[in-house]
Amino acid sequence: MLPARCSVPRLDAQVRTEATVEAESADRSPRGPLFNSVRLSARKVAQWELKLFFPQRTDGDMQQQLGLRNSKDRERFYAAFLGTLFLSLGGSLALAGSNLPEAVKTSSTLILAAAPFAFVGAGLLVPGGLLGSLSAIYRLNPEYRRRQLCHEAGHFLVGYLVGIPVDTYSVGGAEVAVRFDEAGLRSGGGRATSAADRLDVLACVSMAGIAGEVIGCGDAEGGADDLAQLRGIMVASALRAKEQQDDRVRWATLMALTQLQRHGASFDALVESFERGDDVPTCISAIERAAVDERHGTQPEAAATST
């Protein structure tokens, strides 16, 4: 298997009929003034515009800064496999030189020798379970957990701003993802009136995870898989020339960064809601309340009431 990044959201929302989307979104996805408040229109973007959002690397490698050259989760998967392999070899050699009974040494050596094959087999047969287990271990690192939260919060907030109802999200299980209602994805949000508009919206939502990491953590690690997903969307939309795709990627990344910076208080509130495990309506309430507090220059409600 080689895993897609755990924390990359999927734009393949759970299948729902047109009739049920409206009723469910009214019940589970309340909409405030920020919903569908952003109108997008693609334009040419220079690379220097992106550099305004974070310190430039000393080697000038913008691709690395945005996490577009490789997938850190894929690297972690390889590291886990190599660790299992070395543990198997080292353990087998240690057992061979031990004074344990021959039957114990033989059975233990067989178990250790099978460990790398079991790891690969688990990746092929139950990839979600293996990735979920690895991700749970990685989330013990507070930096990794915050990066995950910022990534998914970026997708969630930008999707909300462009008018795509959020169905559900997960940041603590085997699947780390934000799921949107299919009808909203197909329509490209409430302001999309053409196929080009819909592509603009999906491009921004796809790149919003990278933007969330940049805004929340200073750089991104999970951009490679998001970019691959977006290129697939663009090819399906008949945008096949790489130069045109690169232009759209730069623009979408800039727009996502701009919106998350502009709505920084809402983004921070959403990350905190994710950390608490709030449901979707509570997350949306936090987004809207933070925006009101920011406009009025008041403290967030939780901070104000804690004194």
pLDDT at 116 over 60: no
Q: What is the pLDDT of residue 260?
A: 96
pTM tops 0.75, yes or no? no
pLDDT at 110 over 80: no
What is the tens place of the pLDDT at every residue in 214-262? 999 888 887 778 888 898 999 988 888 888 888 899 899 999 999 999 9
The answer to which of 27-36, 42-51, 55-64, 83-92 has the lowest mean pLDDT is 55-64
pLDDT at 165 over 60: yes
What's the CA gap between 125 and 274, in Å, rounded?
A: 30
Band of residue 120 on the pLDDT scale cut at 50, 70, 90: low
Greater model confidence, 37 or 110: 37
Greater model confidence, 41 or 151: 151
pLDDT at 31 over 70: yes
Percent of the chain whose predicted confidence (pLDDT) is above 90: 32
Q: What is the pLDDT of residue 271?
A: 97
- Tell me the pLDDT of the chain averaged across its residues: 75
Greater model confidence, 54 or 186: 186
Percent of the chain whose predicted confidence (pLDDT) is above 70: 60
pLDDT at 287 over 90: yes
